[in-house]
Amino acid sequence: MRALGLLLPFVCLLPLSAQTWEAGLFLGRQFCQAADVPAGSSNFYYTAARKPDSATVYGLSIGRSVGSVGPFELQFTAAYQPDVTTRVRQESLTSYVFIPPEFDLKTGYAGLGAMFYLKALETVGGGLEYRFEHFGAGSIHDHEARPWLRLKAGLNLPSVPALKPFIGLEASVPLVSSKPGRGPYADGQLVFNAPKAQVGIAGGVRF
């Protein structure tokens, strides 16, 4: 994914910091938005109702705590989710079908953001993440950048020297809806079914 290159400067700073770092893993379910999608040719149009299945996703993240803001600890984050496949079922309102009734939609992202954690509860917090999302179906691809809201609540596990493991729940939703900007046959069709929410388990270590 080309957006992965945006994370490299962040990762290169790892050896330069003596701050608190966090490495995490997310495992959960992703839900994509259903949509009535226009399709057709120069002299014929119809609408297809697309209904995506949910999909299991996993992602990697790293964070750096940089200081305090009142009762909160401020952390900058970077994240990456490899492409996952969502099955999309398409119901045409006519018998004149231009694209398959079912197809596989691949989605993934790289993201940069900031989180605010309660200092009294290190694993409870929320923040924003700007995600550079990728969509693919066969030879068609598209990209979109959107801000997402992330919420986390968890527990610290028994520590070992220099490592503080934690586990908890995480949920995220986009703050803006996807809006295709191209015609019925263009790559922008894939954005109709962009992810609308993710929920799952987040765990990792602080060091």
Considering only residues 152 and 43, tell me which one the structure prediction assigns the higher pLDDT: 152
CATH of domain 2-12+19-206: 2.40.160.20
pLDDT tens for 128-180 read 999 999 999 888 888 899 999 999 999 999 888 888 999 999 999 999 987 66
Mean pLDDT, residues 112-129 taken together = 93
pTM for the complete prediction?
A: 0.82
CA distance linking residue 102 with residue 142, whole number of Å: 19
Identify which of 70, 71, 139, 61 has the alpha carbon closest to the alpha carbon of residue 106: 139
Amino acid at 192: F
CB 2 within 8 A of CB 83: no
- The structural domains of the chain, with segments of one domain joined by +, span 2-12+19-206
pLDDT higher than 50, residue 66: yes
- E-state strands within 53-175: 55-69, 72-92, 102-118, 121-137, 140-156, 164-174
pLDDT higher than 80, residue 41: no
pLDDT higher than 50, residue 12: no
